[in-house]
Structure 1
Amino acid sequence: MPHITVREQARIAGASPSATHRINKRCERYGVDHPLLEQFNDTEAKEALRIESKRIHDKREPDYNKALQELGKPRGKRKSRTILFLEYQAEDPSTALSKSQYFRKLNKVMKRLKIVMKQHHAAGETLYIDYCGTQVFYTDNGEKVWVKVFVAVLGASKKIFAFATAGEKTIHWIDGMTRAVEYYGGCPETISMDNAKALVNKAGLIANLVDNVEAWGLHYGCLMDTCRVGRPQDKSLVELGVKFVTQRILVPMLEMSFFSLHEINRHLAREVELLNNEKFQGFDISRNDLFALGEREILEQRGLPALPYAMVVERKLIRVQSNYHFKYKQHEYSVPYALAGEIVDVVITQSHLSISYQNEFVYKHVMSQEIMGATTIPEHMPVEHLADHNMCDKALNLEWARDISEPVTAIVEKWYSETNNPKSRPIAKRCKALMDMVQKRGEHVVTKAVEYALAHKMDRPTDLNLIISAQKLEGGFDKLPAYVRKHENVRGKDYFGGDYDA
């Protein structure tokens, strides 16, 4: 190796010439050359050159195990670092470190222990969800209405979604998740969440989820996963997303005026989109750019169900009545008549009632708000009941009448004009009598009888039978007495004094 001067050595090492000269002298004194020195690490090199680290002499080291054990307890149940220092100092003030030295050493030990694992996220794999601690409000009739903000973050692209809800109950979590997957255009493989009571019945390695949360996962074909209890770092991405949304969007919103939940969500959507378009610190790429690079395509391939999840509000076992209907909230719903007297399983969502019998699906009814009413499906009725049901159908009766003749249609329409109930049984009985009359007498005869009846204000079925019988005796409808309507242009015998003889 060519000889170089001390100044050149100092320049290469980035040290002062005097310090370099002292190191060279130590190497000569202890027989340490350059090739040997390269084999040592820093600690071994210091030992070979007899270089002692600066130490604080006569000062007692803290009991780190005791301090770490105390600081590992939950918040509110552990001593502060100041209390730990005061206890350490009280043992022997003369050998105790200063407060700044104590905190520096303790923090150094804490940092060595606080090691976190780098999480790797595949595109379309995980969506992390949480609620912000900070609330925002809108004004309704002069009163503040506070609302919660749901946040979701995709694992791979870190794309953020935020949506305000009225609360933080199960229905609000489900609403937030549904809107999030619709926003991203597809459902990921896994939803990662915390152990909130609205989501989890019992926490654990495999948590016991609330029924609606588990059903939501089945509906969208994804796993519902929970983080470890007291380990928010398992969903660190959404924790960071909540921090961004809170600091960048929610805190400024507290100085703004909103007058509805819709206004809040419209503002949130705009601001979150700006956040998703911002470049990452130190990179020339944004969340939306990462999302477009591959995660969007994977989520679109997984897709969404044809219909969004309808939350299960209630589940009941109900006995079917003898009229093959069951009652729920002052309204009755039909099931196939063969199930009369049986117990059926009814799952009630926000919009439908789904009926099963012995774990087999039977029928799904749309929820009705009609009090004391009934929803009856014709297919659920026995043959004789179905015939009676069809007899009371106004549309079917009018359709039959139009196939017969205009006069028959006119009399049926006249009958239905007398009632507001399209299912009127008395009117249906008249139509049934008219049908029987047509079948027995023939369409032509009944049509002529109806024409005569309408002209003479005789519209009851008994009147029609009387007209048909009378025309037989008289030899035809033309022989029956004709009704002449009186009006002001017709002068009777009173006009001529009673002596006019036509």
Structure 2
Amino acid sequence: MSKIRKILRMYHHGRSIMSIAAQTDASRNTVKKYLTAFKDSGFAFDEVNALNDKELEDLFGKSKEKAPSGMMLSMLRCFPHVDKELKRVGVNRQILWKEYYKEFPDGYKYSQFCFYFNQWKARVNPVMHIDHKAGDKLYVDFAGQKMSITDKETGEIIEVEIFVAILGASQLTYVEAVMSQQKEDFVTACEHTLQYIGGVPDAIVPDNLKAAVTKSSRFEPTLNETFEDFADHYGTTILPARAYRPRDKALVEGAVRIMYTRIYAPLRKAIFHSLKELNEAIRVELELHNNLLLQGRNYSRRQQFEEIERHVLAPLPVLSYELKKQFHATVMKNGHVCLGPDKHYYSVPYRFIGKKIKLLYSSASVEAFYHYERIAMHKRTRGAHLYTTEDDHMASAHQFVTDWSKDKFLGWAASIHEDVRLYIHNIFDRKRHAEQAYKSCLGILGFSRKVGNERLILACRRGLSYGIYNYNTINMILEKNMDQYEDSLFAGELPMPDHDNIRGEDYYK
């Protein structure tokens, strides 16, 4: 084709046939044949030079005894524009053919237009045809165009995402409106899809959105941990489409385009005040779509699914997937770890004190993991600043606390004084589990060795009068020598200082 372009360019510049033949290393008859075909086409040099190599072959190639007509060339020049416009929302071949036919009234009819466009498309952009096996893949994606709901009170229009899923073999389709493309909404929509089709395919093929793929890669993409856990629960595999390769999920891309016509268009004038209302309306249109006969066939997507695909899907598990979130925290010295979102404390075995662990929590449970091993599991409790403790976890393996108990500390305190015993008893009463008070009691009773029993008794007496029961209170009393205050001073009977600015009671008589 480059030689043909060179021949036409030299002829356009006024070179003779002999000169052109010598410069291009071609015979004079060959040059004459190409120039004759060029003159018969009726096009200017600039127009022919703008054609691509395949279009030049159609005009000058050896396989063509007759050069294509001007009508053919006019249509070929339209195809790049047609290919580009087909990517727009709501545009189809019928619309573009009407535009072409309006410009060229003597042009090709619709069926020929589509036939030649398919041939052109196959030449300039060849693709591999994929035969989908029953029960093999479920393709999932979000539509590019959003739908909306309207707040009944404020009138605010809220845009929502549209999730689309389609089975490869039967083309049974599922559509659902969700609030966002976040993993919680994405995983929930995938679960609703499996419940809708009543089974589990061998693989789920998502796009490279963050809810499914944390890091995309041509060879080994990193899956989102939650989505991977979802797939493990249902016994399926995640096969992400390659980044920037829409053909890997062409089926769901086509389903999205159909949904614009079958769901978006019928509902475009309706107003919905909640996600539930919108999804109910979508389900009605979706059933019509799945029960509509396929073009050129005497069966629908639903019929095809029931006949060839339903029985090959794996059964759904007994329990639905419970969406889990994760939180990383360090085990405290009392053998508990804090779940940050709830500010609630859960016990783990003592040997993990000081270790950084991962908490996986759902609406009902909290699981603690260390190096991929589950070390504890609790029922989720949302009370802030409270403790959930399992007795087996608190039975420490450390030798220096194996003989600690509530009775031991109370006996130790009673040997000092009854006020000390009462203060220690109140500390235990305010803890959900006795072991949570051990270190506080150990620190308080340890003051008997540092400051003596007398000061400790007075400090505990002061603490009882405050009604505050913890180690920090006793420590503050001793540090500030508050245990040495006179009882009358502490009770509020402070002496009046002598000062010139103080008028005294006689001033007001």
Per the normalisation by structure 1, the TM-score is 0.55
What is the rounded CA distance, in whole Å, between the counterparts of 2:310 and 2:249 in structure 1?
A: 21
RMSD of aligned Cα (Å):
3.5
Q: Which of these residues, 221, 244, 247, is aligned with residue 233 of structure 1?
A: 247
User: Per-residue deviation at 1:254?
Assistant: 2.5
Paired position in structure 2 for 1:327: 338
1:62 aligns with 2:49: yes
**Is the contact between residue 378 and residue 386 of structure 1 (CA under 8 Å) also seen in structure 2?**
no
* Cα pair 1:151 1:241 within 8 Å, conserved: yes
Sequence identity of aligned pairs in percent? 30
**Post-superposition shift, 1:102?**
5.5
Aligned twin of 1:354: 367
> 210, 214, 217: which is aligned to 1:197?
210
How far, CA to CA, are the matches of 1:385 and 1:222 in structure 2? 51
Distance in 1, matches of 2:71 and 2:42, equals 16
Partner of 1:188: 201
Aligned residue for 2:239, secondary structure, equals: strand
Which whole-Å CA distance do the structure 2 matches of 1:159 and 1:204 have between them? Answer: 29
Mean Cα deviation higher: 210-219 or 154-163: 210-219
* Aligned mates of 2:135, 2:292 — CA distance in 1: 21
Offset at 1:146? 1.7
Equivalent residue in structure 1 for 2:148, among 137, 155, 174: 137
The CA deviation at 1:165 is 0.4
- 2:269 counterpart of 1:255: yes
Taking a change above 3 Å as real, the CA distance of residues 63 and 204 of structure 1, as seen in their structure-2 partners, is: farther
Q: Write out per-residue CA displacement over residues 58-97 of structure 1, whole angstroms, 9 at most, x where no aligned residue.
A: 74332545899xxxxxxxxxxxxxxxxxxxxxxxxxxxx9
Whichever residue aligns with residue 204 of structure 1, its letter is S
Question: Once the 2 structures are TM-superposed, how far is the Cα of residue 157 of structure 1 from its aligned partner?
Answer: 0.7
Q: 1:153 to 1:358 in 2, by over 3 A?
A: closer
Q: Matches of 1:166 and 1:58 in 2, distance apart? A: 55
- Structure 1, unmatched stretches of 5+, are 1-51, 69-96, 390-422, 430-502
Q: Which residue, 42, 60, 76 being the options, matches 1:104?
A: 76
SS in 1 for 2:41: coil
Q: CA, structure 1 residues 249+98, in 2 after alignment: closer, same or farther (shift >3 Å)? A: same
- SS of 1:361's partner is strand
Count of aligned positions: 313
Q: 1:161 to 1:385 in 2, by over 3 A?
A: farther
Report 1:448-487 matches (<5 A).
Answer: none
Q: Does 1:374 align with 2:387?
A: yes
Q: Aligned equivalents of 2:389 and 2:209: distance in 1?
A: 42
Q: Give the aligned partner of residue 315 of structure 2.
A: 303
Residue aligning to 2:465: none
Cα distance in structure 2, aligned partners of 1:250 and 1:263: 15
Relative to structure 1, the CA distance from residue 201 to residue 336 in structure 2 (aligned partners, 3 Å threshold; closer, same or farther) is closer
Distance 1:57 1:254 in 2: 48
- The one-letter code of the counterpart of 1:359 is Y
Match of 2:186 among 155, 173, 186: 173
- Contact kept? 1:276, 1:287, Cα under 8 Å: yes
Runs of 4+ in 1 over 6 A off after TM superposition: 97-100, 383-389, 423-426
Q: Do residues 123 (structure 1) and 134 (structure 2) align?
A: yes
2:260 corresponds to: 246
Equivalent position amino acid for 1:118 in 2: H
Partner of 2:110: none
Deviation per residue, 1:429-455 (Å, 9 max, x gap): 9xxxxxxxxxxxxxxxxxxxxxxxxxx
Is the 2:42–2:70 contact (alpha carbons within 8 Å) kept by the matching residues of 1?
A: no
| TM-score, normalised relative to structure 2 | 0.55
Letter in 2 for 1:325: H
**Amino acid paired to 1:285:** Y
Residue among 295, 299, 304 paired with 1:281: 295
| Structure 1 contact 135–250 (Cα < 8 Å) conserved | no
2:174 alignment partner, one of 148, 161, 180: 161
Question: Aligned pair in 2 of structure 1 residues 234, 339: CA closer, same or farther (>3 Å)?
Answer: closer
Structure 2 residues without counterparts, runs of 5 or longer: 1-36, 56-68, 80-115, 397-401, 408-427, 435-509
Measure, in 2, the Cα distance between the counterparts of 1:264 and 1:143: 16
Partner residue in 2 for 1:268: 282
Supply the AA of the counterpart residue of 2:359.
V
SS at match of 1:226: coil
> By how many angstroms is 1:296 displaced?
0.9
Q: Report the CA distance shift for 1:241/1:338 in structure 2 as closer, same or farther (over 3 A).
A: same
1:214 to 228, 238, 244: 228
